[in-house]
Structure 1
């Protein structure tokens, strides 16, 4: 067991307050888990601190609050025997040391009071079982019963006890193992990885919200492909993203093959992480090709085709978000729009015309920059000449977008002539003719036949009205 001391880890004054509160209550107390792990990894000071008391965590939280000048409010969660308070931007969670036992159909354990050792045994990974003493005589001493420091140094994710039992008891830990391996760029120890594969189907008892929370953290990492490759390797992926699993593999007919769209997708996600922290744009990168599996066809002349995969994929986004109990709001609509339009700039880059750029800006609106970022990430060719050509073409599109936008103002387009004015001019009530004229004005502006200005649009309205047989009732 490691018996090193790290008093400098406990420099923030809050730790002295906790130590004093524990002494007043004659309790042993320890800071455990992520704070200790991140300190040893030099990842910066964590804002979430877990404190274990050998006794009542709730009583310790109340005493800490009493000792602090601001007397922060203590939130108590009796069912879990935990309490929480916030002070100086730090969130402290207090829990009594405990033993846990599980039933097969739930990740919520039966709990009884225990020792620090019992509490460390129930932790998910050795690197999260590290504890620093807050007791007066041993202040700052590290308690490391499972050689977690060694695992930190060797960059290994390992469970303190039998991995099969650890993962079966709480299957969310399988996703946490993959998430930590991705975030920290660690390796999951061999027996632990095998145990995840053995217990993969147990993920079905975990709530969708918990699963999505871990997926968000994988997507927010600097190299998400590592996490998704591990989800694939361990057999967890079919339970979460069958749409991605369906993309895996290469078919060959008459000597013609298509690329493996699963591994291509992971490359796209890694590419986009280099240029954006927008979580929902990263989701769009993950899902941009999901329509390719159901639309894959082989044609003797054209070879492998994926016609309308963007349209099909956008519809699949809604179903996927609904199944995973994700928000069906503007975030989902943004991902849908990105998937639906994901090929537009690629086609446009081959012939950068003003009218095509106007339509792109009109359809993408405020998201045109995000769309270009996604399309640039979608370039995964290993041919340096092709790679350079695509990026040069996209740069031309970006320049043209700026030029056209400055001149024509079609982003978040509002017709220069309103429906009310059309009705008044031709003495109409709400009718199909108004829609025909409004659409014609919009098309004329997007095609560059008339500028996006009131006088030109009004003249065009009068001409279009005459063409469809409307009589002028009011001269404006």
Structure 2
């Protein structure tokens, strides 16, 4: 059965292309209040661990995301700490504290533990250096908190809370940058990005996650050093892109990647959408249209949730929205009357999408799902203004397969016209299509549509063994099933024999 989608409001085509509004700037008083409340909530972990390390003669500090997010009013159960203790001492101390222990990060000085629903990772002070041609850091242990914080990516991630006294440590002004919602590096951005080029992608990702702006000097360094990203492995680039696209404000991050030239190296299909326009050849701004489709697909994500629950960000539907028109630059044709055509950009776009996702080491399932959506995103518009036969509806469901619900989201999100009458007409037409799918699904089990005779029955009726002819017969019966709906076994047998006898 095709699951019925939850009714949610349609996205309203925006009056402009601005991103969803980022959060408002915070006052210092509000920041302090939020931090105090979060530290009180974390007290069962912080106070016990702080005393444990202090009694052993070592420093312990809560660091990174948990400190930053405490100021933003966000809660964590996974906590990161840094310590003066070497890994073997950390392991000994945590073994008596946690109910489970792991050391997969020992090479980087990290020991992890779990207790009562809390997950902690404690890392020895680090001082890292990078080979300019290497993808991986050379890890060396440091001897101070300030040096450890100074090697972190951004000032908002370079704050700490010393334990057990809960003393706030902010040697690089992260709290001011957080209050003003700006991303800066603790040292010079050139040194930071030279050490780890992936931090350039992390700047875009954090802009998308937090809704922050990026300091001008950081943007300049990203633009000048974009080529350094090529030494980073495809898997690490992929992981940052997924986090960016699944963030609350992906337009902010994607725009930054395009403006700095990083997108030319990690996702070149996106900046390629900025097609030249002139007064004689008219078409939509494909790049801005694409970002708007992405935002509208995000608004429609609740349709993908089952049982009324929020399923969270859906990468496949978001990435399909981002890639749905990437075939347009390759298929653009200028006509004498001033119009522009993009014939077959859906098919070309699916091939480009598959190629890019393979280069970024996505799984086969993800590649298949996104590519299928890109290839099918125009199918709805190929049936006029709603003159859908039952046969067309069956084929639509068959071709979409498990991506039908995501195809509904993508097709609806692809309407960015400011003509309210046209938008409403498209919405009604698609509403009717979904109703038709639901009705036929209940009657015919569309999601599992197959011929009325199976392979064994075909071979027995025709007196043939396994081979190419069985496949041809099977496909013929499937086409009849799609065209006419379910048949009785007698009718299917008669149709198959008629087809068999008419063959050359």
Q: TM-score, normalised by structure 2?
A: 0.85
Tell me which moved more, 298-307 or 93-102: 298-307
Separation (CA, whole Å) in 2 of partners of 1:458 and 1:300: 54
Separation (CA, whole Å) in 1 of partners of 2:127 and 2:443: 69
Counterpart mapping for 1:100-249 below 5 A: 100-106=128-134, 107-135=136-164, 139-249=165-275
| Cα 1:285/1:27, change in 2 over 3 Å | same
| Cα 1:58/1:460, change in 2 over 3 Å | same
- Per the alignment, residue 40 of structure 1 pairs with 71
- Per the alignment, residue 384 of structure 1 pairs with 420
| Cα 1:439/1:105, change in 2 over 3 Å | closer
The counterpart of 2:367, out of the listed 332, 344, 354, is: 332
- Per the alignment, residue 440 of structure 2 pairs with 404
- Per the alignment, residue 389 of structure 2 pairs with 353
Per-residue Cα deviation, 1:260-285 (whole angstroms, up to 9, x for no partner): 22222111111111122321121211
Q: Aligned with 2:431: secondary structure?
A: helix
Separation (CA, whole Å) in 2 of partners of 1:412 and 1:301: 46
- Per the alignment, residue 83 of structure 2 pairs with 53
Matched positions, count: 460
Tell me which moved more, 263-272 or 458-467: 458-467
Tell me which moved more, 416-425 or 230-239: 416-425
- Per the alignment, residue 472 of structure 1 pairs with none
Counterpart mapping for 1:81-100 below 5 A: 81-100=109-128
- Per the alignment, residue 474 of structure 1 pairs with none
Separation (CA, whole Å) in 1 of partners of 2:433 and 2:338: 27
Per-residue Cα deviation, 1:368-410 (whole angstroms, up to 9, x for no partner): 2211111111111122222212111111111111122223333
Separation (CA, whole Å) in 2 of partners of 1:312 and 1:85: 49
- Per the alignment, residue 24 of structure 2 pairs with none
Question: By how many angstroms is 1:337 displaced?
Answer: 1.1
Query: Does the aligned pair in 2 maintain the 1:32–1:131 contact within 8 Å?
Result: yes
| Cα 1:199/1:230, change in 2 over 3 Å | same
CA-atom RMSD in angstroms: 2.4
1:259 aligns with 2:288: no
Query: Does the aligned pair in 1 maintain the 2:281–2:338 contact within 8 Å?
Result: no
Query: Does the aligned pair in 1 maintain the 2:160–2:169 contact within 8 Å?
Result: yes
Tell me which moved more, 392-401 or 303-312: 303-312
Query: Does the aligned pair in 2 maintain the 1:252–1:258 contact within 8 Å?
Result: no
1:271 aligns with 2:312: no
| Cα 1:420/1:160, change in 2 over 3 Å | same
Query: Does the aligned pair in 2 maintain the 1:284–1:338 contact within 8 Å?
Result: yes
Query: Does the aligned pair in 1 maintain the 2:450–2:481 contact within 8 Å?
Result: no
| Cα 1:280/1:452, change in 2 over 3 Å | farther
1:65 aligns with 2:95: yes
Flag structure 2 segments of 5+ consecutive residues without an equivalent. 1-27, 302-312
Question: By how many angstroms is 1:252 displaced?
Answer: 4.0
